Structure 1
Amino acid sequence: MICKDRVVIVTGAGRGLGRAHALEFARQGAKVVVNDLGVSRSGEGGSTGPAQEVVEEIRALGGEAVAETSDIATDEGARHLVATAVETFGRLDVLVNNAGFLRDRMLVNLSEEEWDAVMRVHLKGHFLPLKHAGLHWRAESKAGRPVDARVINTSSGAGLLGSVGQGNYSAAKAGIVGLTLVASAELGRYGVTANAIAPAARTRMTEEVFAATMAAPEAGAFDAMAPENVSPLVVWLGSAESREVTGRVFEVEGGKICVMEGFRHGPVADRGARWDAAEIGPEVSRLLGLAAEPEPVYGA
C-alpha cells in the first residue's frame, strides 16, 4: 500500500500499459482517474467503454476510481482531466502520461498528417496535462499547502535510440524526454518530481512486432513482455518514497530496470579561436576516437 490515499491520473488507461498502471496503483491504495478516449490502435473512433471497464475492475478490487474521457491533447480536455481529479477526490498527487498510438512509415512515405497526429497525441498529450497539473500544484504550494507530487512520463527506446520506420514516434518520444527534464527543473520548487520510463511490453501498439519476432511464453513461464511488469516501477515513482528521484529516465522490461544515461559532455577540443573548415576533419576524427560508440538504432 505504498500509494495509500494518493490520487493518481493515468492517461491512456483503458488498455495495455495504462490499464496495468491503473490497476497496480489501485492495489497499492491509490484513488485513480482512468482517462481513455477508447480509440483504435491508429487513433480513430472513440468509446467510453475501455475507461469504464477499468474503473469497474478497480472497484471490484475494493478500490476507488472514476472514468474520464477527455481529449487530453486539447487545452480544455487537459484542464477538465485535472479538475476531475481534484473535484472527485479532493487533491492530485500523481500524473502518469501514457496515452499514445502509432502511425508507422518509413520517412520517405510518412505523410504530414501522420507526423502531426503522432506529435499531437504523444507530445502535446504529455505537455497539456503536465501544464494543468503543474498549475494546480503551483497554486497549492503558493497557498501554503504541502505538495509531494509526481509526474511519470512515457518515452520509449525509440525516442532514446531511434527506431527504423518510426520517425514520427521516435521524434515525439525524444521530445518527451526533453519535456521531462524541463519539468523536473521547473516544478521542483513546488514539491514536484518528474521522471520518464522507456518501457518494452506487449500491448496493442506492439503486438504485431512481438508476434512476428517472439514466441509466446510457455504456460506457467515468466512472461517478460507482459505490461504488468512495467507498472511496479511506475507505482514506486508515484509514491512518497521516490521524492529524491527526479529528472531520470528508466528503461524497464520484464524484470529489468535500467537507468538510462543520455546526452552528456564527452571529448572536447577548444582552440580558443575560430576554426578553419579545412582543419575540422582530423580533429573530429580524433574526438570520435575518444568518444563512446553510439548504440544502434532499433531495427537497423
Structure 2
Amino acid sequence: MTQIVSLQGRTVVVTGAAQGIGKAIVEWVIELGGNAVAVDLNAEGLKATTDALPSDRVLAVVGSVADPELATRAVADAVARFGAVHGLVNNAGIIRPAMIEKMTLKEWQDVIDVHLSGTFYWLQAVGRHMIARAKDGDTTGGSIVNISSDAGRKGSIGQVNYAAAKSGMFGVTMTAAKEWGRYNIRTNSICFGVVETPMTEVVRGEKFRDKMLAQIPLGRWSTPDEVVKSVCFLLSDGSSYITGQHLGVNGGFHISV
C-alpha cells in the first residue's frame, strides 16, 4: 500500500527554520524523503539545524523573510540545486507585544513585515515558479502551507499586530487557493495553539499557565514534533483535494464549524 504521507523527491522551502516548529518541519521533510530549503535570519541557529542533516538534501538560506529579493533568489537557488520547488511553509515569525494604545509604529510594522508581507513575498516567488512549471506541462503542482494562529481568529490581548497579521494570512490563503487551483497548486493555513517553543514561554509561564490550560480540552501544550505532522500531511499527496482551508491544530483551544 502506498504511504499516505510521503515527500519523496519533493523540495520544500521552510521559513523560520532555525528553531522550534520550523526546525521540526525541516527534519520531518527530510525524514519523509524530501529535500529542504531552510530559511532563517539566525545564521548560527540555521547552521546547527542543517549540519545535522544530509548535506545533499538540504540548502541553507540566511536572511530576512521581509526581504522580497531574498525570496526570489532562494527559489532560483533551490531550483538550481534540486530541479524544482514543490512546497512552501511560511512559518517565520516574531512577536512585539504591547497594548494597542502603547504600541509603537515600529512594533506594529516589524510584525506585519515578517508575518504578512513575508508570507506574500515567499508565496509569490514560489507560486510564480510553480505556475511556470504548470504552463510547461508539469502536472505535479505544489502545496503551500501558511502558519497562522488562533490569535487571528480570536484576537490576542497585547498583540494587535500579531493578531492582525495572522488574520490577514487567512485572506492570502483563500485568495491563492482560488487563483491557483487551476495550476494544481493547493494553499492552506494551519492555526497552532500553544506549542512548546521559545515564542510561547511567557504564555506557558506561572502567571498564565493555569488559565490557558483550562481553555484547552486536551489539557496540555503540544510539542513541535507533534504538530508539524499536520504540516507534512498538507504538503503531501495525502491532502490532494484540500485547498483554501484553515486547519486548527490546537488541542481544541478554538473549536468552530
TM superposition score normalised by structure 1? 0.77
The SS at the match of 2:199 is coil
Q: Tell me the distance in 1 between the aligned counterparts of 2:158 and 2:126.
A: 33
Deviations 1:62-110 (A, max 9, x none): 8721111132212211101211221111111100000010000000001
User: How far 1:148 sits from its partner (Å)?
Assistant: 2.5
The RMSD of aligned alpha carbons is: 2.0
| Structure 1: gaps of 5 or more residues | 39-47, 216-221, 262-300
Deviations 1:25-67 (A, max 9, x none): 11111110110111xxxxxxxxx111121112222xx872111
Selected match of 1:55 from 50, 57, 63: 50
1:90 maps to amino acid: G
Q: How many residues align?
A: 243
User: How far 1:259 sits from its partner (Å)?
Assistant: 7.8
Mapped contact 2:145–2:189 kept (Cα < 8 A):
yes
Which fold has the larger relative contact order, with Cα–Cα distance below 8 Å and residues 6 or more apart in sequence?
A: 2
Per the alignment, residue 131 of structure 2 pairs with 138
Per the alignment, residue 25 of structure 2 pairs with 21
Per the alignment, residue 11 of structure 1 pairs with 15
* Residue 76 (str. 1) matches residue 80 (str. 2): no
| Structure 2: gaps of 5 or more residues | 211-218
Q: Tell me the distance in 1 between the aligned counterparts of 2:32 and 2:125.
A: 25
Which structure has the larger Rg over C-alpha atoms?
1
Cα gap change, 1:258/1:4 in structure 2, threshold over 3 Å: closer, same or farther? farther
Q: Tell me the distance in 2 between the aligned counterparts of 1:260 and 1:26.
A: 33
2:200 maps to amino acid: T
Selected match of 2:202 from 174, 186, 208: 208
Q: Tell me the distance in 2 between the aligned counterparts of 1:258 and 1:140.
A: 38
Q: Tell me the distance in 2 between the aligned counterparts of 1:21 and 1:236.
A: 11
Cα gap change, 1:142/1:2 in structure 2, threshold over 3 Å: closer, same or farther? same
2:234 maps to amino acid: L
Map of 1:21-40 to 2, 5 A cutoff?
Answer: 21-38=25-42
* Residue 169 (str. 1) matches residue 162 (str. 2): yes
Per the alignment, residue 234 of structure 1 pairs with 231
Per the alignment, residue 249 of structure 2 pairs with 252
Identity %: 35
Per the alignment, residue 215 of structure 2 pairs with none
Q: Tell me the distance in 2 between the aligned counterparts of 1:207 and 1:224.
A: 11
Cα gap change, 1:115/1:153 in structure 2, threshold over 3 Å: closer, same or farther? same
2:48 maps to amino acid: E
The SS at the match of 1:135 is helix
Q: Tell me the distance in 2 between the aligned counterparts of 1:229 and 1:103.
A: 26
Q: Tell me the distance in 1 between the aligned counterparts of 2:48 and 2:183.
A: 35
1:203 maps to amino acid: T
Per the alignment, residue 184 of structure 1 pairs with 177
Per the alignment, residue 153 of structure 1 pairs with 146
TM superposition score normalised by structure 2? 0.89
User: How far 1:214 sits from its partner (Å)?
Assistant: 3.2
2:161 maps to amino acid: N
